[in-house]
Amino acid sequence: MNTFLAALSSGTSRGAIFALVALGLVIVWRGAGIVNFAQMGQAMFSTYIASTLITNGNSYWIAFFVALISGAVLGALLDILVMRPLSNKKQSELLSSESMRAAVPVIASLGILGALQALAGIIWAAEERGFPAPAKQEGFNFAGNVLPFTSFDLFVVSIVTVTLIITTLFFTKTGIGLAMRATALNQEVAKLSGIRTNRTRTISWAISGAASSLAGLLITPTANLSPNSLDLVLIVGFTAAVVGGLDSPAGAVLGGFILGMVISFVTFFSTPEDVFLAILAVLLLVLIIRPRGILGSKDARRV
Amino acid sequence: MLKVENLVTRFGSVVAIDGVSMTAQESKITTVIGANGAGKSTLLRTISGLEHPASGSITWKGQSILGKRPEEIVRLGIAHVPEGHAVISELSVEENISMGSLFRRNKYKSDVTAAMDEMYALFPRLKERRKQLAGTLSGGERQMLAISRALVSRPQLLLLDEPSLGLAPLVVEQIIDSVNTLCRTTGLSVLLVEQNANTALGVADHGVLLALGKVVADRPASELKADATLRAAYLGY
Amino acid sequence: MRAVSKTQKKSIARTSLIRTLLFVAAILLVSAQFDAYNQGQLAVVLILFIGVLSVTLLTGISGQLSLGQGALMAVGGYSTALLMINYKLSLWVAVPLSIITSALAGLLLGVAAARLRGPYLAGTTLVIALAIPTIANRFMSVFKGDEGLPVDVGYPPQWFSNLFGEPTYEQWQLYVALPFAAIALFFASNILKSRTGRMWRSIRDNETATSLSGVNFSRQKIYVFVVSSSFAGLSGALYGLRGLVGPSVYPVSLSLLLLTAAVLGGIRSITGAFIGTIIVVFLPDWIELVLGNFELSEQVSNYLPALISSLLLILTVVINPAGVAGTRLHKHK
């Protein structure tokens, strides 16, 4: 019973983080029409920046906010320096084919991921380093028993919930949110409405960058920080987004929690090696049975 | 006032507009007519910035707008309703209309709401359906929606591309009437591209006849309407 | 699809054969001038060239982006190692057999992936690339986990040494890799010019239109995966024969390396695949050549090649997506 509860609580807090990662992917997908594989590389980089600040004596919270800002800045830079020139490139025989047009941004984001990981290795070396948590990692004390739910878990779930609420409101109730959705759905009509589509896309990247930095900051305390430490998170985040529906923020949350639970239970009741296979199984299951994702709209598969 | 001089737009080796010169007069309806493939849509798309011309000039209120981005040209007062009911199906009616006035929210906050109310007054069917997704609307309603989106940006020139496409004659009449009324009451200049020359010449003040990318005739609409030889040769009736 | 007559098929085969023979001759000539280290590098080039060809066929020609080629290499590597260790087969038997197992793996992959496009395909294959090597740890008794299975190219047979003199270890690696690379080149060249190649290109260029014209898409897509996986498996088998087959030998970065090589060199041609492989294999050496005078910390020099190749990848994709070989105008791409 205890293991079950432990798995449940671990699944919840992990699920919250995966939801965040998936959300970042969904934001870029909805805002810019591509899947950003470099996302966790950005997160890793921001977390390293935070780590450096902490090592130099700054408080966790200062480092936290600097990391979020640097994540946003990094995201914006990537859009301006790489993605925008890419989408402006009309001349090329290569890009006349449907599949290459879809593949090229993916390849670019993979290149960015590689560059960020290599850069992190050069700046900070590949040794793993720890990363602090702002809250205790011991379980709560309740009626004399120690619950498998820690205050850090609570912190994670609260922050993610707040972020999700803010994001949903942002997309549906604000002008910028509308501009972002319009840009993603039909760039031409958006432009003809006076929306500055380039700027809007950059904002999507910045927000996504901040969200993924947040995810990186939240998950790293339970693991260790190294240039490749967040690779697994990317895979899970991607799967979560696909499971939930690539164009649905609510789906991202749902997918994140489903995957969090799956991974948690597999880890607790089977061996850690099975985790990757479990993720693969979930991914294939969704793609075969309901390709658009649980909450995805019919157009979610539009590439 | 919009002035186009010797405009040339190419797609690869195909010349879509071949040295077109014309003027859209202030507060008047100018119509561009011609057979399919004459270059009418390309002309509008080049003016609104969606296509880049190879050569020529486009002047709006005395300033060149050549090479400007579409989103900037909208802010200068030219609104383009492209052909095919350019609305975003996945957004609601209200959101589609709001899109057009997003860039005005900072400066003209109160006017934004007023503009939207005016659209609902002009097209009551849209008001009924304002929370519905645009994809669920009929063809005529979608065209009204597209026009509303353009109008809330408070343009001085409206580029209207084939509003009659795929619509029943009664609906077309309604829409063209609304546009006509707008022009006469608010002084909105309209550049109307139409395949249905008869309808277009019925409301227009001035007509430009395009064939194979070139201007064949540039005259008051009444004259064009009366010229049977020209009509037979280029418009088929 | 225009049918290809028997005479056309023969002439395609003949052109491919000539290309292959020229290739073999060039490699032998060049390698004779190299020192042992560079001969070893050249052997790696030949081995990875086969792997890059798998990317060229899959992504360049049929437009399907897969990030799991490294996993398929692992399948080939493990098959060869297990056959050689458990059944005492010679590499000349084990390696061809591994091609079959890789083809089967490709069949499975193709069936799973045929419905997927763009980022979905890329992401799924990425997950596969990460998942497959964990099997090695799951079934440790068979696959020996992280420790891996040691195999190598062994020694040249007596008749060979008698005929050609005793080759160095690196030379022998080269001589083992060369016939396989030649065969791979022959088949790739053949496919590219054949009717199959045209069909694959039509999948890439305009899937919607082609499917409407009645071509059975899924079957062709799966076929591409089978063929491409065979190439990858062969490459992986030879790659493992450098000394060890284990999860550390086939990391995710290997898949990205193949992709990078294909894109840099030119993703649509065999020439591009070769150029890209050379760049990717010799880049660390070139970097050291240029920067050797500067005192670089180990930290920097470890990661610099990866950084530079990633930046090159980004630059290529943004500025000249066709890659080195693609900048010249080719008719049949």
Q: Is the pLDDT of residue A303 over 50?
A: no
Judged by a CB distance cut-off of 8 A, whether residue A151 touches chain B is: no
- Structure confidence at residue B56 as a pLDDT band (50, 70, 90): very high
C6-252 adopts what CATH topology?
A: ABC transporter involved in vitamin B12 uptake, BtuC (1.10.3470)
Across A195-199, average pLDDT: 92
Judged by a CB distance cut-off of 8 A, whether residue B85 touches chain A is: no
- Structure confidence at residue A147 as a pLDDT band (50, 70, 90): low
Query: Could you tell me the two tokens for C164?
Result: 């050609």
Q: What is the rounded distance in angstroms from the CA atom of residue C151 to the CA atom of residue C85?
A: 8
Instruction: Kindly indicate whether the ipTM for this predicted assembly is greater than 0.85, answering yes or no.
Output: yes
C112-171 tens-digit pLDDT: 777 777 788 888 888 888 887 777 777 777 777 777 788 887 777 777 777 777 778 888
Per the listing, tokens 């690869």 go with B12
Q: What is the rounded distance in angstroms from the CA atom of residue C192 to the CA atom of residue A249?
A: 43
Which range is least confidently modeled, B216-220, C56-60, C155-159? C155-159
CA distances from residue C245 to A274, C125, C143, C207 in whole angstroms, order as listed: 21, 21, 9, 38
A135 touches A152 (CB < 8 A): yes
Domain segments of chain C as ranges = 6-252
Domain membership of residue B29 as a residue range: 2-83+151-235
- Structure confidence at residue C97 as a pLDDT band (50, 70, 90): very high
Query: Could you tell me the two tokens for C328?
Result: 């010249």
CATH of segment(s) A2-87+103-126+148-301: 1.10.3470
Report the chain B residue with the minimal C-alpha distance to residue A197.
Answer: B71
Those residues with Cβ within 8 angstroms of residue A149's Cβ, 6 or more apart along the chain or in another chain: A9, A12, A13, A139, A140
Query: Could you tell me the two tokens for B28?
Result: 């008047």
Report the chain B residue with the minimal C-alpha distance to residue A185.
Answer: B88
Across C36-54, average pLDDT: 92
Of B49, B91, B153, nearest to A185 by CB-CB distance is: B91
Q: Cβ separation of B50 and A188 shorter than 8 Å?
A: yes
Sign of the C-alpha dihedral, residues B32, B37, B42, B43?
Answer: negative
- Structure confidence at residue C103 as a pLDDT band (50, 70, 90): very high
Which residue of A98, A284, A292 is the best one to mutate when testing the C interface, meaning the one whose CB has the most C CBs within 10 A?
A98
The amino acid sitting at B31 is T
Q: Is the pLDDT of residue A228 over 80?
A: no
- Structure confidence at residue C332 as a pLDDT band (50, 70, 90): very low
**Of B163, B183, B160, B186, which is closest to residue B174 (Cα–Cα)?**
B163
Of A103, A238, A277, nearest to C65 by CB-CB distance is: A103
Domain segments of chain A as ranges = 2-87+103-126+148-301
- Residue of higher predicted confidence among A129 and C272: C272
Of A178, A186, A197, nearest to B71 by CB-CB distance is: A197
* H-type alpha helices, B26-156: 40-48, 70-75, 93-101, 109-122, 124-128, 139-151
Query: Could you tell me the two tokens for C135?
Result: 């099997």
Highest mean pLDDT among A84-98, A229-243, B55-69: B55-69
Using DSSP, state whether B59 is helix, strand or coil. strand
Q: Give A-chain residues touching C119 at CB under 8 angstroms.
A: 34-35, 102, 106, 303
Across C88-92, average pLDDT: 86
CATH number of the domain that B205 lies in? 3.40.50.300
- Structure confidence at residue A7 as a pLDDT band (50, 70, 90): confident
Touch criterion met for C and A (3+ Cβ pairs within 8 Å):
yes
Q: Give C-chain residues touching A273 at CB under 8 angstroms.
A: 134, 137-138
Judged by a CB distance cut-off of 8 A, whether residue C204 touches chain A is: yes
**Of C37, C30, C36, C27, which is closest to residue C285 (Cα–Cα)?**
C37
Tell me, what's the pLDDT at C333? Answer: 42
Total-model pTM? 0.82
Q: Is the pLDDT of residue B60 over 90?
A: yes
How many CB atoms sit inside 10 A of residue C286's CB? 12
- How many domains does the structure of chain B reveal? 1
- Residue of higher predicted confidence among C82 and C298: C82
Do the domain assignments include residue B155? Answer: yes
CA torsion C130-C132-C134-C135 (nearest 10°) is 170
Q: What mean pLDDT, rounded, does chain C reach? A: 84
Which range is least confidently modeled, A122-136, A166-180, C78-92, C226-240? A122-136
Judged by a CB distance cut-off of 8 A, whether residue A38 touches chain C is: no
Tell me, what's the pLDDT at B39? Answer: 85
How many CB atoms sit inside 10 A of residue C214's CB? 8
Continuous segment of H or E residues that includes residue B209? strand B206-211
Q: Is the pLDDT of residue C213 over 70?
A: no
B121-167 tens-digit pLDDT: 888 889 999 899 998 998 889 999 999 999 999 999 999 999 888 88
Give the DSSP per-residue string, A45-79. HHHHHHHHHHHTT--HHHHHHHHHHHHHHHHHHHI
Report the chain B residue with the minimal C-alpha distance to residue A182.
Answer: B88
- Residue of higher predicted confidence among B234 and C225: C225
Judged by a CB distance cut-off of 8 A, whether residue A276 touches chain C is: yes
- Structure confidence at residue C331 as a pLDDT band (50, 70, 90): very low
SS3 sequence, C127-138? Answer: HHHHHHHHHHHH
Q: Is the pLDDT of residue A94 over 70?
A: no
- Structure confidence at residue C69 as a pLDDT band (50, 70, 90): very high
